[in-house]
A and B are shown apart, each in its own frame.
Chain A
Amino acid sequence: MIHLLMYIPAMAALLLVFTPGATKKYLAIAGTLLAFIVNLLLWQQGGADTTTAPWVPTLGITYSVGLDGVSLLLTLVTSFMSLLCVLYAAFNVERPGPMLANVLLMESGLLGIFASRDLILFYIFFEATLIPALVMLAIYGGPRRVQALTKFAVYTIIGSLFMLLSMIGVKYYSGAASFALADLLAKPLDPKVQTWLLLGFVAAFSVKLPMFPLHGWLPEFHEENHNSGVPDVMGTLYKVGGYGVFRFALPLFPDASEELRIVLMALAAFTTLYAAWIAFQQVNWKRLLAYAGLSHMGLVALGVFSMNEIATTGALYLLAFQGVYMGALFLAVGMVNSRTGSVGTHFGGLMDDAPVLSGLTMTLWFAAIAVPGLAGFIGEFSVMLGAYQVSPWLAFLAGLSVIAAGAYALTAYQKTYWETKPQGTTLLKDISGLEGLILVSAVVVSLVYGIYSSPAIALIRPTVDRLLQGLGG
């Protein structure tokens, strides 16, 4: 079943190549829908135990996959958002064929990332998400995409190679028989070598997380992507750095993580503030969202690096649900763009013509800036609460970003939606049924998990507890 989940989208993508134009979109929708249903069934069964099969025995690479609570939650979010993306792209993008294929490929890669329990397998899926991202940017990107693309590729690949070096190092120094996580955990590493190996992992994950100073690729990547926002949603989804740190870096290098905890937390806290500050100055919705996402990711990093159970739970909660509301916001920007032809924040007066769209967008923004009752609040509050127990000052510093978030989000929102409409513009259409369905379902998810968080917490908590016990913390 788990294999089915991982490869349904990829197979659908392959089939897309051979299907004629008009049926492409239905095939893509069917693929993502099927994956989502399989995922729900897996949820009902309580995930999947780790299964391990030798893949390249001579090199010690195994095909080891499993879904525990945290992975399950993240795969659910991934397949849900992919479904929304495909729905939106199928009917709102011109020539959607290649984009749909890439979204499907990326979904497979992401599901693979969350399911892998082998370092090399994880690396392969980690890199596999890169190719569709690059292709989407190349085909559908804006005028300055070459620069954005190069920056993005160079940053991520350099980071990943450091991780690869660390992976080879982990197996070599631990003397484990394979790259399977279970094998590696059975043979703890000497604390002396842990530090530089951890730094290799952190370098890779900080690029994708992203974290200051390795976030340089992010704003341009989002700005140059296709205006529909579909590639951006997939882009926000593969911010798998936080998950990678949680799943691999902390358990493998417990001593080094302990030692570097404060430094990494400080970096994370700085990232949140720094990004919020820059977000405040943006006049382009996509850049604004990029920096807002960066700020949230700083909080995720703060939570994960704090190695405190409440903070870590909160960080994973935030990681999962920011995929939903930030993703939906990117799609909302796409919807605004398809009406006004711009992604600038200066437009004004949207509320008059498109009240439903504006209202839904506002709700999503409220979720993003952690208004109580919406999903963002639970995550951010738990991160703060837990981080405070580790370092009150850093928690305070990061807490300022929550205030800043209110400031940048509301300023920009006010300009686009409330200020008077420029004269001479035509009446804009309000939201269509499909667009409404997409935004409403994202709002519903944010609302439900903002009020009734225990199903998600119940998924995350056991995994976090098990991990932190392993660290002795």
Chain B
Amino acid sequence: MIILRQLCTFLVGEHLFGLDIERVQEILLPPPLTRVPGAPPEVAGLLNLRGQIVPAIDLRRRLELPAGAAPSDAPHVVLRGDDGAVSLRVDAIGDILPLEDAALAPLPDNLRGALRTMLLGVHALPDRLLLVLSADAVVDGLAPAAATPSPSPSILALPQESR
């Protein structure tokens, strides 16, 4: 039996990336971002998604791709997750491609660095390579901000779930 997986594709730098569409909540036109001074450089800022505060990750930085001029109208791919949504800033949105799981090729051995830890595999498309990202690795692997001893804020945010 052939298992088809829908991949949402997008461009960052000169590479084409794909993410399982099950994890993609929505695509945003460039939203206003609030920067977070002191945060790791991969964190692009915070955005307001219909009342929810969603962190935005600069995917180019996160993947340690060469810094290029990101377009000013960079769209966002919003991922759903157990801890709430997280948004990824990309360069441009591509098509949705149904691809066979079996066709996913392992990563080339000579690929190293941050990219390797965040990729599940590659699909060889007729004209180029599609790099399939692991949403969990992109989000959870992020280093916690500044290793200060866990401070307790002097006010408490409304908890997400009732105690």
Q: Do A and B bind each other?
A: no
Residues of A at under 8 Å CB distance from B?
none
